[in-house]
Chains A and B, each alone.
Chain A
Amino acid sequence: MRETIHQILEEARGAIGEVKSAADLEALRVQLQGKKGSLTALLRGMGRLPAEERPAFGALINSARETIAEMIELRGMALRKAERVLRLEAERLDVTEPRPQPALGAAHPISMVLGDMVDIFVGLGFEVVEGPEVELDTYSFELLNLPKNHPARDAQDTFYIEDNIVLRPHTSPVQARTMLSRKPPIRVICPGRCFRADEADATHSPNFHQIEGLLIDKNITMADLKGTLDAFARGLYGEGIATRFRPSFFPFTEPSAEVDMTCVACRGKGCRVCKGTGWIEVLGCGMVNPKVFELCGVDASVYTGFAFGIGLERTAMMKYGINDMRALYEGDLRFLTQFR
């Protein structure tokens, strides 16, 4: 009896070992453990045994069944594993084969530069305010100390809709509107589209963008203006970038300054971009002219303030090495897809 069971086990072991697929293994399992299986047959024949031997014999057969089940399980695992290895091998891809690529688009370079600048100024406590692109002459010029006969107002520079309505030549009218509508302290930046009657060429555009800033409070000095613009320059281009103030003239400010920034291309060593000077002219600024305060209802005996204006096109051109301003306004995907 024992031998028979032993023999069945050995045969099962041999058969299981030879099975090559999960499907064959399943068939074998049915054969070994099903109703027609040899162990089942043995069990059926147990009735012929003496009653006292039956329990021990039963236990023997059950133990054999378990052993077989275990062998099938182990073999099954091994087979599944081997099959998976084969499948994975069969599924091998050419990872270098080109396929359609999901792609993000990109913001316009002027939007990117504007976003960078706004981040810096918002960090310094400035609030973004905006105004209309078609603007009254009053806000565009008169309140900014550009009286009616100022040469900068000539038709050749400014687009007119009517005598008193212009396409704003700068975003300064937003500053005038802000001074008239708010009480100091004021810390605002005014980004936006502006217009000047320049024919479009590599370095000019009749439609362009600016960001202007205005800060009014007690005890504001020109040194604060320099500190703010120094922080801005470092924020935009990193450490080691400084500003240099040169005297200049804007009707809106007094004293006024033209500001150069360390050349970003050579970090001040001197190169073709900065014509060997190490500096690049980037913006105009100054202390708000007391006459502007008077026109806009700010008490010049209590408050001082500064203002500055930066062209976004030129900044974007400098930052990305764009050598023709017109490319910014064409919408050519070969240009736009380079930004990220």
Chain B
Amino acid sequence: MKVPMQWIRDYADIPTDAALYTRRMIMTGTAVEGTEVIGEGISGIVTGRILSMERHPDSDHLWICQVDVGGEAPLQIVTGAQNLTGGEIVPVCLDGAALPGGKAIKAGKLRGVESRGMLCGGSELGVDDSLYPGAGVDGILIFREEHPLGVDVRPLLGLGDTAVEYDILANRPDCQCVWGVARESAAAFGVPFKMPLIAFAEHGGDVHEEVTVEVLDTALCPRYAARVVKNVRVGPSPLWLRAYLHGAGMRSINNIVDITNFVMLETGHPMHAFDLSRVKGRRIIVRRAAPGETLRTLDGKDHMLTDRMLVIADAERATGLAGIMGGEESEIAGTTAELLFECAAFDRTSVRLTARALGIRTQSSARFEKGVAPATVSDALHRACQLVDMLGAGETVSGEIDIYPNPLPPRSIEASVKRIQKLTGVTIPAEDIAAILKKLCFDVALEGDTLTATPPPFRQDVDSDAALAEEALRFYGYDTLPSTLPQGEAMPGARSPRMRLHDKVRGVLTALGGHETMSYAFTSAQAAAKLGLAADDARLDPVLIRNPLGEDTGVMRTTLAPALLTALSLNLSHQNEGGLLFECGAVFEGHTRKEGELPVETQTLCLGAYGPGWDFYRMRGVVLELFRVLGIQAKLAPGADVYYHPGRSATLTAGDEAVARLGEVHPDAAEAFDISCRVYLAEVNLEALARLQAPMTGIRPLPRFPAVTRDVALVMDDVQPVGPVLDAIRRAGGKLLEHADMFDVYRGTQLGTGKKSVAFTLRLRAEDRTLTDEEVGKVFDKIVRSCETQFGAEMRR
């Protein structure tokens, strides 16, 4: 909300220094986004009268003017404007003057003729017809009134004041107006709030004979007040009114519309003026729209209404959307002779839903949405009538319509001063609390520790002792808060188990060179489809967002794989060398969710890698190392998912549960993400890791007896996976086999086709003695025999 400071100053004596004003307002709770001088940059421009004009000898369009700027001798100024005849008072830029935007005016010569300044037009000054009638003319701005010569033109054109841009908090709808911020300003600077005396003349007649008003839905319209003005004279508004509206960012339309806008800005009450002669049957009915009823609003748009929308209707049809916009039918026109001023309170939710449904947002609807106090409706209406008087815009008929069946009784709050002091931690004296509340227009009684405060009707937000504490502290000063630490029993802080697991995972993966990434939890419905999943795959049944920002963020992700592939693709497109990326985050199940229930969220880890040094085995190694660190035993089996290379992918299972899948990405899936090289992916269920992880319990003592190391090469079918053979060796080796590993694979013609020789190293050791050759030989033979029987493997000699 933008307000010129002079308008505030009408009601509270605030400092002229905008920076000083702003600082204090911010520290007392009225946010100020910024200030702006209206007509910023203008200097050295004064009134001057054109005494004479003659043609420039060397030009067919330039004029040489002698201009009286109040000095001893007139100034000679050359102008190209064609709208002057001589005798006019105009704005004159003296030598050294400045225009908005930093343009400087210097004395000089124009085609050889001396010109000691410049005459200027409205557009050069940033003044249009709305602020000063006639300013929009093509040529020089001509003052419509007599003015002394040589005086600063800014005040004459409604310029020079500073406008303050306020950012009003959601709980302070009362501050959406000049009176509201003036009240806060007065309290902030310890000066009185000068509420204007509102008085106007009633010119006889009886409003009840002019019009009837019925409110059929008092829930949506708790108060409706109206006045009738006759002998209306629609015309331009005076400069002061135009300047206030201009400073507040509104355009001047005519005196009647300007009055309604002025009252809205000043009091916070949106008003509407109807041309009474065009209100059919001279009846106003406030009712819900009939389903399918249509209305053409002031902006010429047609709307289809529903019975959840409140309208202002006449005897025949809806003529306005309550609190949002009037109808074209009863709009004020130049010929309007009698009018009805409406000032009402409408239900904020109803206004909000209607405005949203119809896609209309006006200053009026914005105010009603935040909340307008019914109690102060008549103040606003009277202020409008007072302005009609002041502007000579018509004659107010005697009597008032005011339908206000359920006025809210004043509520008083009892609070303990000690509790306010304890809540804030600041010992604000009881008298200071009372004084602050009085400044804010509360009724206050103080008896011992008990403070009884009755908020003014426009302060619906204050309804508890905590709220009173905030009011008191705002003006006592938030900067008086001391810095203390909470007392009470000591509590051990801790990370959550989930966070500890994530920390551990992150620690392992970064140590292995991984860089953590983060992506949005919502994605496009196509992201999972790009993996090439089967049509009935549960991951193609995501949780849908009802109001997404766009298609690419319309569903909750069911898998992290697309995010990692997208990141790999991005890095490839930047020709980055490659590396390991990983992300931890939730995926959301759509297929198991029932209406009204939250989806299952599963914390998942996804890794993606490409570049030099990356292959299937390195990715497998990263995952296995993570499992080792977490103390999880898992079995590897070939094959993972459709978007993996069928021969270069694996699944890790613990118990019966698949806990990780990994491998080279299938070229079809890679291509879907614009990836043309080999990339590697791994997906790990972190919830499973959380369940399965086994904390380290203690160490094994170091061996005291020597070990015996034997190597053995076994010839087996080439298609025989080595993993199961190694498992069999370990089983057969039993307790004495301390360590077994593969160290070479050999394929050669002497082995025969379809055969390979796999070399293993075996280390045997007993805890309590040095092994004899005989013992070693027995174990060794058992291992070889077991491989022979299980896999048809033969020892290579």
Contacts and interface: CB of A to CB of B under 8 A. Distances in A.
B476 to A, nearest CB: 11
B496 interface: yes
Contacts of A78: none
A237 interface: no
Given A134-B598, A219-B422, A334-B576, A123 B482 contact: no
A115 B567 CA distance: 24
A332 B570 contact: yes
Contact of A104 (B465, B510, B586): B510
A132 B597 CA distance: 12
Interface stretch (B25-33, B403-411, B432-440): B25-33
Interface residues of A, number: 88
B488 A219 contact: yes
B571 A224 contact: no
A154 B485 CA distance: 37
Given A197-B547, A247-B478, A329-B518, A217 B470 contact: no
A244 B601 contact: no
Interface in A209-233: 215, 217-224, 226-228, 230-231
B601 A107 contact: no
B424 A221 contact: yes
Nearest to A103: B513
Main DSSP-derived SS at the A contact region: mixed
Interface in B573-604: 574, 576-581, 583, 585-586, 588, 595-596, 598-599, 601
Contacts of B327: none
Contacts of B564: 331
B514 interface: yes
Nearest to B512: A105
A248 B484 CA distance: 21
Contacts of B574: 332, 334
B702 interface: no
Given A108-B516, A136-B598, A228 B425 contact: no
A206 interface: yes
Interface stretch (B46-54, B230-238, B498-506, B737-745): B498-506
B553 interface: yes
Interface stretch (B164-172, B390-398, B747-755, B761-769): B164-172
A329 B467 CA distance: 40
B169 A207 contact: no
Contacts of A152: 170
Contact of B423 (A115, A132, A304, A328): A304
B513 A151 contact: no
A108 B494 CA distance: 22
Given A222-B423, A223-B426, A162 B596 contact: yes
Contacts of B172: 249
A256 B586 CA distance: 32
Given A126-B493, A162-B546, A329-B518, 5 more contacts: A123-B493, A151-B369, A248-B29, A251-B170, A329-B520
- Nearest 3 CB-CB pairs, A to B? A223-B425, A221-B425, A247-B29
Interface of B: 26-29, 31, 169-172, 348-349, 352, 356, 369-370, 422-426, 464-467, 469-470, 473-474, 478-479, 481-496, 498-499, 503, 506, 509-522, 543-549, 553, 556, 563-564, 566-567, 570-571, 574, 576-581, 583, 585-586, 588, 595-596, 598-599, 601
28 contacts: A104-B510, A107-B510, A107-B516, A108-B518, A125-B491, A126-B491, A161-B545, A162-B596, A165-B596, A185-B489, A199-B549, A207-B520, A220-B488, A221-B422, A223-B483, A224-B487, A226-B425, A228-B485, A230-B483, A249-B172, A254-B464, A255-B469, A304-B422, A331-B517, A331-B570, A331-B583, A332-B574, A333-B581
Interface of A: 102-108, 110-111, 115, 118, 121-130, 132-136, 148-152, 154-155, 159-162, 164-165, 167, 185, 187, 191, 193, 195, 197, 199, 206-207, 215, 217-224, 226-228, 230-231, 244-249, 251, 254-257, 287, 289-291, 304, 328-334, 336-337
